[in-house]
Chain A
């Protein structure tokens, strides 16, 4: 039996080295983890396709409005200046990934990664149209006749429509989806929208329909370094070698222990269900995305044989070696602590964010002007940005020079929510009150209706050398 397993590994080594990629036909699997994955698919894809349609206060709740350079997420609006918040969010996402990997292995890959989720749907369509694994293999081997063409064409048509809908939804997060629907229905979609719908649709079709496990193996950076987050207490999908070996075929009625066999009946179903085409019995491999399809499949077989379940199961290296389960360990605390710090700083960042911005641009034509009565005059262009959800009125004041006089078209400047108002202001000062050629000054933008709503922007007032 040992020679048999050797032959299998040699063959798979040769396959991966010499042959071009063998198409993998994962066998359909049912069980607790398959159900969990379908639940994840339903929640995630359901969310993806539905959230784009949810409006709040007359606005899509998630809209990355690129043309207007504003990101609307729930009730918040993020501007390019809030880029650091986005950066914090991305670091948070990465750290959560580390945290959950340390805790329970590649949960992300098995249940939540878009690649897994969309592949699951594409494979489901494939199963519905082409039949189960043996039928698919037979169909692919068969000559091209009318039946094969019909089946393949149906599958690709369904894939294509699903991919196109995916691309459409994707663009719907950047262009308001209702307007987009209208323009699609009237065939008046802009060239770039059309392009991106097809681009994203094509990527979905290619990745979920054809690339599949190769994306995980060759393209995913996380797959390459996830093992760095693993330790001996990480929950991973493992084959209980001590219990399973030596593997071998037997009758259900046999007492396998007497025949010198382990619990593994070597039915190879765990290999057939594997979406990345590996044999979990060869130990942990980086191709394993932790989808637990082999657990479901093996449990099923164990049930039929009347053996105890869990020959392949979620467990830790320590437990397999006869140790205990340790959930709380330094690694978990360190990741959790970092995560907590980031979440806190993000919340502080969002809540203390002043939704105002003031840009001060000096007049480029003249450094300064002298007025007829000997005063010094500087001209600035101010850009008042109201990033708040409400309209406000603002007043502008200047500090830094004694008795400086500010002239503008308006005393009180109304700026609607999300708007930018540009205005010119003229500052006049007595040359004798200027301490130097270049005097730092501050413009203060203050909301009339809300004392706490203000922002300060520094600038320079230039004048002649006076002392």
Chain B
């Protein structure tokens, strides 16, 4: 009984990952990674210098940090989403 149950659980577990888990597995790790990347990046590069060189002197520092964060986040979301896409078992792709 126990074995059958466990097998069932295994198979069902693969198919049925809740939607919240899928979405948070993409958005959340990428959020953390973007936060780390953003703080490291702006530790070493001064936003004012970059903005000035880039021709956007009117953007404030807070703006630069925010824009930087969302740029990083969109990249890390892309990466997480691709990971999540590629972990699909080959059997399911064949279907």
Contact = CB atoms under 8 A, between A and B. Distances in A.
B19 A190 contact: no
Contacts of A214: 20-21, 24
B16 A218 contact: no
B58 to A, nearest CB: 12
Given A192-B66, A214-B20, A218-B20, A17 B61 contact: no
Contact of B43 (A80, A175, A190): A80
A307 interface: no
Interface bin, chain B = 20 to 34
Contacts of A191: 63
A62 to B, nearest CB: 17
Given A80-B42, A219-B24, 9 more contacts: A18-B12, A20-B18, A66-B61, A80-B44, A83-B43, A175-B62, A195-B66, A218-B20, A218-B21
Contacts of B12: 17-18
Contact of B60 (A13, A21, A67, A69): A67
Given A18-B16, A21-B20, A80-B43, A218 B60 contact: no
B78 interface: no
Contact of B19 (A17, A20, A192, A217): A20
Interface bin, chain A = 20 to 34
A333 interface: no
A193 interface: yes
Contacts of A175: 62
Contacts of A217: 21
B46 A192 contact: no
Interface string B38-50: 0000111010000
Given A17-B13, A21-B20, A80-B43, A218 B25 contact: yes
Interface in A81-121: 83
Given A190-B60, A219-B24, A13 B65 contact: no
B9 interface: yes
Contacts of B19: 20
A466 B16 CA distance: 77
Contacts of B25: 218
B95 to A, nearest CB: 20
Given A218-B21, A219-B24, A17 B63 contact: no
B62 A190 contact: yes
20 contacts: A17-B12, A17-B13, A18-B12, A20-B18, A20-B19, A21-B18, A21-B20, A66-B61, A69-B46, A174-B62, A190-B62, A191-B63, A192-B60, A211-B20, A214-B21, A217-B21, A218-B18, A218-B25, A219-B24, A219-B28
A149 to B, nearest CB: 26
Contacts of B66: 192, 195-196
Contacts of A192: 60, 62-63, 66
Query: 3 closest A-B pairs (Cβ-Cβ)?
Result: A67-B61, A218-B21, A192-B62
A326 to B, nearest CB: 33
Contact of B9 (A17, A190, A218): A17
A313 to B, nearest CB: 28
Contacts of B44: 80
B62 A67 contact: yes
Contacts of B42: 80
Contacts of B16: 17-18
A83 B16 CA distance: 43
Contacts of B60: 67, 190, 192
Interface in B1-55: 5, 9, 12-13, 16, 18-21, 24-25, 28, 42-44, 46
Nearest to B28: A219
A211 B61 CA distance: 32
Contacts of A18: 12, 16
A211 B21 CA distance: 11
A193 B62 contact: yes
A218 B62 contact: no
A174 B62 CA distance: 9
Contacts of B21: 214, 217-218
A387 to B, nearest CB: 15
Contacts of A174: 62
B68 to A, nearest CB: 11
